Amino acid sequence: MCGITGRLNFDGQPVARQTIKRMTDVIAHRGPDGEGYYQKGAIGLGHRRLAIIDLSEAASQPMCCEDGTIWLVYNGEIYNFQELRRQLISYGHIFRSNTDSEVILHAYEQWGIDCLKRFNGMFAFALWDERRQLLWLVRDRLGIKPLFYAHLPNALLFASEIKSILENSDVNRDLDKRALSYYLSLNYTPAPFTLFAQVRQLLPGHYLMVTPQGESEDVCYWDLHFEEDNDSSLEHYRTAFYTLLDESVRLRLISDVPFGAFLSGGVDSSSVAYLMSRHLQEPVNTFTIGFAEASYDETGYARQVAQQIGACHRERLVDAKTAEVLPKIVWHSEEPTADSSMVAVYYVSQLAREHVTMALSGDGADETIAGYETYQAYYLHRYYSRLPLFFRRNIIHPLVNILPASDRKISLDQKIRRFIAADGLTSEEAHGVWRMIFYPQMRQQLLAPLGASADQDILELYRQYFSACDAHHPLNRMLYVDTRFYLPNDMLVKVDRMSMAHSLEVREPFLDYRLVEFLATVPPRYKMKDFWNKKFLLKSVMRGRLPSATLNRKKAGFNVPNARWLRGDLRDFACDHLSSRRVREMGFLEPSVVEHLLHDHFSAKADYSHQIWCLLTLALWWQTFIQKSVQHE
């Protein structure tokens, strides 16, 4: 795993080597094992290396082909590189290393941009073809690895992280007001947006082709398509699913460095750890984070799985004081992303990196095999919407509003409040509302300093993704939206940024594109069976292989007890960074609205922990990337 950077000047001026070095140095955490640069005329490339496969100098980057006309900087893993390497050798290609990076170069020489169809992996890379005078920027199908760029009048800049792009003096730090509204809605900034007006994200499954004259073309090379006419037996799908998942795990064990697995105690990570144990002669290294708050702690379940598979298991307890690393987390997340579970991922990555350099995780199963309660809520919403409007508005709503707020991890009052927030909307629109942090009315109040036009309709983004889906079944349509929108913009962001903060590579077996495409052919009834049984296919194949308690427990997620933390040890920290003075300095939020949220949360009138965490992250982002840069000018 690595970090990549680069600049292509459109005016033909040489790229200063010092510019590329600054861009690359600022993301040294992504690659502590080496650095490299290529500069020739108007093109400059930079690379920080985290050595995983082929630890020799032969695998260093930037890497070039034999005649020096094609140059590559690459972040990721091509899991089928050995198979491709053998095939390319049979065509006469000569390799100087044993790394997957060189496979990309030779594959491009052999097949051109069609080589993408042959890559099975997670990747973001930039390839400069000197003969064709083209810069090719590529992001993997599911968006596991990030790639940002700024298309300026005089140059194209790109990098694994935004902070590299900001090292260029011709990039301003103007706030993208549209992206700000999206961020307040979702807790994250959805691609292609970032909070920086000049910086964009390449979408998953897309590539960008750029010429030295500044012309560019953004191409979608992969999308998820559903086949809904299949109707084979459950046993057929069980066998095929297990075979694909097992092969996906096996491929992700190819490594020249020590590795392990994140183990939360849920069925996803437990399945991955189990399959790892079947392929290894030595015990699997597993890592778990726990909490003192009982409703949030899953260490008991993780311990049970670790014991059953004979793992070498390690745990660490996280408390509110350790969450004061939030400024460091914001520096790494930078878009920003305010998912409070980033704290947990930060610490489990830190724990893992003390013992291994690479780890497997269970991310992606919820979005592809139906693991979220929102899928069940969709069907409940359809029935709820048939109740008389008078009964819903005048009886149900008032009763819900008087429910006492709870700070438990899975509380009924939070579920009910979120559910009725979608009253009056279509069920597909409701799917978007249930992921909202700030609803429209409060967003408009918060953004009052920017004017009435600042707020954006986040549901329009959801409508666009639903309209792009070729499935007809409601469950498949929701799975498409969550796989293409929610997964790469939130879940995969926190894993990439928090693991890379500790120079740890994380691989995602559930996101092997062959497995994802297969699951798009599985009938919905085998993903969520009889309404109650979420991830039915996964649990079905793992029954008898994992403890019953793991398979039968309710989904808990990897959240932290932020409601209790904010009322306790983090209260002064939050009040300081969200004081009226600081909010006024930011200039784009209404201080009285923030003050109201803090007051009602601290007095236990309501649980505004997610909203406060969102604003706290935003305030820290502004202080880190905007205020400090202004002070340094």
Catalytic residue numbers read 2
Secondary structure class of 289 (helix, strand, coil): strand
Question: What are φ and ψ of residue 396, in 5° steps?
Answer: -65, -50
Q: How far is CA 304 from CA 307, 359, 529, in A?
A: 5, 20, 26
Secondary structure class of 526 (helix, strand, coil): helix
Q: For residues 267 and 257, what is the distance between their CA atoms, to the nearest angstrom?
A: 26
The answer to whether 560 touches 296, Cβ cutoff 8 Å, is: yes
Q: How many CA atoms lie within 13 A of 539 on its CB side?
A: 24
Length of the chain measured in residues: 633
Question: What are φ and ψ of residue 102, in 5° steps?
Answer: -65, -25
Give the sign of the dihedral formed by CA 225, CA 226, CA 229, CA 233.
positive
Q: For residues 129 and 440, what is the distance between their CA atoms, to the nearest angstrom?
A: 47
Nearest C-alpha neighbor of 255 from the set 285, 288, 225, 228 = 285
Three-state SS for 292-341 is CCHHHCCHHHHHHHHHHHCCEEEEEEECCHHHHHHHHHHHHHCCCECCCC
- Full DSSP string of 208-276: EEE-TTS-EEEEE-------------HHHHHHHHHHHHHHHHHHTT--SS-EEEE--SSHHHHHHHHHH
A 10 A CB-CB count for 536 gives 20
- Please give the angle made by the CA atoms of 507, 512 and 517, to the nearest 5 degrees: 155
Task: Report which secondary-structure segment, H or E, holds 285.
Answer: strand 285-291
The answer to whether 97 touches 104, Cβ cutoff 8 Å, is: no
Question: What are φ and ψ of residue 420, in 5° steps?
Answer: -75, -10
Q: For residues 376 and 353, what is the distance between their CA atoms, to the nearest angstrom?
A: 37
A 10 A CB-CB count for 315 gives 16
Three-state SS for 372-421 is CHHHHHHHHHHHHCCCCHHHHHHHHHHHHHCCCCCCCCCCHHHHHHHHHC
E-strand stretches of 463-606: 505-507
Residue ranges in 112-233 assigned as alpha helix (H): 162-165, 177-186
The rounded Cα 290 to chain-centroid distance in angstroms is 22
Nearest C-alpha neighbor of 468 from the set 455, 456, 484 = 484
Q: For residues 561 and 282, what is the distance between their CA atoms, to the nearest angstrom?
A: 35
E-strand stretches of 14-160: 34-40, 43-49, 63-64, 70-78, 121-129, 134-139, 148-151, 155-159
DSSP-derived pairing of the beta strands 358-360 and 259-262:
parallel
Secondary structure class of 573 (helix, strand, coil): helix
